[in-house]
Chains A and B, each alone.
Chain A
Amino acid sequence: MAQRTMEVAVGRNPEMGPHGRPVPSPLAPFDLPEPEFGTEQMLINIGPQHPATHGVLRLVCELDGETVLSVMPDIGYLHSSFEKLGEFRTWNQVVPLTDRMDYLAPLIYNCAYVMSVEKLMGIEVTERCKVVRVICMELDRIFSHLLWLGTTAIDVGAFTPFLYAFQQREKVYLLHESLTGARITTSATRVGGMMADLPKGWIEQLTDFLDAFPKTLAEIDRLLTTNQIHIGRTQGIGAISADDAINWGLTGPNLRAAGVPYDVRKDRPYYDYETYDFEVPIGEHGDCYDRYLCRMEEMRQSVRILRQAIARLPGGPINVPDPHISLPSKTDAMSDMESMIHHFKLITEGIPAPDGDCYYAVEGSKGELGMYVVAEEGSTKPVRWRIRPPSFVNLAVIGKLARGHLVSDLIMINASLDIVLGEIDR
């Protein structure tokens, strides 16, 4: 794997920064002996209704002055029991539940779910479908990272990147809308294929986005990467070592920022990711700044993957040509007896699955997104459908990361983990 260390010309030396400018030491030296003021510990709630928690998350903080002694995350406010609901729905009816979990990258969740079901059933999707799903997933990686970028920049006081990022997100929303008819609740995939093929002109629209987006990203990059305030707020904050990161189960950019080159696309490749030419950015220090750099670079790499995917997009059917899996076209269902029977059976009964269980992981925008489906012989509904939630596991580490930092750093650490509460609580 390409070891691309973060060779941005910023000094980590507190005395001298880029272009010879001094950079103020980012770390408040909290290990210095403090004068005794006779303070007492204080328990405060951040959230659950607080914009800085990025959702309905409640952080109970134990503070000594402004220093965080411990953080107790309290979750479950958005719990909607998707996994239980899934057990009462046929395989295809579960798809709308998946995009309501992570509404920041719905297409990745749509794809991951059906990929797991297809793996369980042994269905091999068509080449066109594979490339279309790769396009969907990489597009939503950019989509999700852009939201993270904008909101995180706001958390440390930079407002302009938020506007730039959301302008670009709007274009992805439009792409979602013309592909699926919805901006957020896409429900774009079906077992064995997609809800619909790419609409006319969609690829051109996507290419326009890919042409314009890197310029905006470069502008945001100029605003933040060597910005002394941003560096001061992020470098050395919330650092975690590589071994700890693995042990705590971190995945995605949070893990890679700590220097672990684990990317599902490279290590457990799916959908021919091994044939795409892209690099996985690896950090060194595991702090907020490295997480920022990793995500910025991932967006650039996603653009590369998207361009390659567009270039290789093959023709042909998008759905598996098996009437026991894919719905027939509406015309056939209305005019051909056999197609109508298949249509009826698929709608009323669903697709029977073989006995077994299947864990299928993809590289989501937040980390390793695993879908675990369990079926019994012939079951048309999941016996158990489980999401391995990347944000859930990533959030569990916040207490460790934030200990000893200031409250304002806790906000930055929370933002840098890139969580989405819909998926944590499910």
Chain B
Amino acid sequence: MIQRTKGGLDAVDEGPLSSDAPTGHGRRTTAQPSDHPSVAALIARFENAIVRHRVSAGDQAVVWVEPARSLEILGWLKDDPSQRYDMMSDVTGVDYGKGAVDVVYQMFSTAHKLALRVRCELPYDALSIDSVVQLWRSANWLEREVYDLFGVTFRGHPDLRRIMMPSDYAEGHPLRKDFPLRGRFSRAEQTRRALAQDVERFYRPVDLEHGGVPQEAEAPRLEREAEKS
């Protein structure tokens, strides 16, 4: 231990202990096997569709499932009385830059107070997966965001449009690893496009279908509006 005899400053400067403190203090290094009940139940029921599973960050269960059967598996997780993951907290994507985008579902069961993370690995050439909006309405905007930022198409989504980026954004999907931080176009081109935009267009209902709520038979009225303007 470095002796704190370096003068008055030390009394003021209450930083962390000096460098010969034991390294790795406070770090957990265990990796226990998954004891999450849903993981065992998933493997028992969907054997082949469960690609792999692991415990991440100490105690969080992660399950990779076959994308082709994701809707079936997620529906079972939501409705089966032993699981009841009734809250879809988050849907997002992860791109490691290695040829695949993972779609990640964070689920929580308010009945059993259990959280589960389900991931589906989609290769770049087949970025498409079944939408879960029919199961959880909360997935509506979350899936739109994944579509917007990663380019994953959600089959059966009622309203799959860009949500963060403008509807005429032409540079692709920004959160993909192959997307440069400053955009695909040069600064000059970005400026040119911004200036060439018809700003008024954003304030007309032309390209606004229904956002937010999946609705029935509301479109014709909007088209009428579009023709007038």
Contact = CB atoms under 8 A, between A and B. Distances in A.
Given A247-B138, A322-B25, A76 B163 contact: yes
B58 A119 contact: yes
Given A332-B2, A370-B106, A396 B18 contact: no
Nearest to B57: A358
A246 B87 contact: yes
B141 A323 contact: no
A426 B142 CA distance: 13
B86 A246 contact: yes
B147 to A, nearest CB: 13
A329 B92 contact: no
B106 A328 contact: no
A125 interface: yes
A319 B6 contact: no
A249 B203 CA distance: 29
Contact of B16 (A71, A79, A323, A361): A323
Interface string B154-174: 000000001111100000001
B24 A322 contact: yes
B210 interface: yes
Given A247-B137, A332-B18, A71 B13 contact: no
Interface stretch (A151-159, A172-180, A278-286, A383-391): A383-391
B202 to A, nearest CB: 8
B218 interface: yes
Interface string B11-39: 00111111111111111110000000000
A70 B218 CA distance: 9
Interface stretch (B68-76, B109-117, B120-128, B189-197): B109-117
B89 interface: yes
Contacts of A359: 60, 90, 106, 115, 117
B141 A396 contact: yes
B66 interface: no
Contacts of A342: 19
A72 B210 contact: yes
Given A119-B58, A384-B94, A249 B137 contact: yes
B215 interface: yes
A370 B16 contact: no
A248 B137 CA distance: 5
A234 B100 CA distance: 48
Nearest to B97: A383
A45 B201 CA distance: 13
A249 B88 contact: yes
Interface in A378-426: 383-384, 386, 388, 392-393, 396-400, 403, 425-426
Interface stretch (A98-106, A137-145, A203-211, A260-268): A260-268
A384 B176 CA distance: 10
B221 interface: yes
B46 interface: no
Interface string A36-66: 0000010101000000000000001010000
Contact of B106 (A124, A327, A338, A372): A372
A383 B163 contact: no
A332 B137 CA distance: 54
A274 interface: no
A396 B212 contact: yes
Given A320-B16, A328-B19, A43 B175 contact: no
A3 B23 CA distance: 46
**Which of A124, A246, A331: most chain B Cβ within 10 A?**
A331
A122 B19 contact: no
B80 interface: no
B57 A83 contact: no
B185 interface: no
A370 B56 contact: no
Contacts of B203: 45
Given A356-B57, A370-B106, A399-B212, 11 more contacts: A71-B213, A123-B26, A197-B14, A321-B21, A329-B13, A338-B20, A370-B89, A372-B92, A372-B104, A393-B141, A397-B137
8 contacts: A75-B163, A247-B136, A262-B110, A317-B14, A361-B115, A372-B92, A384-B95, A388-B90
Question: 3 smallest A-B Cβ distances: which pairs?
Answer: A329-B15, A249-B138, A122-B28
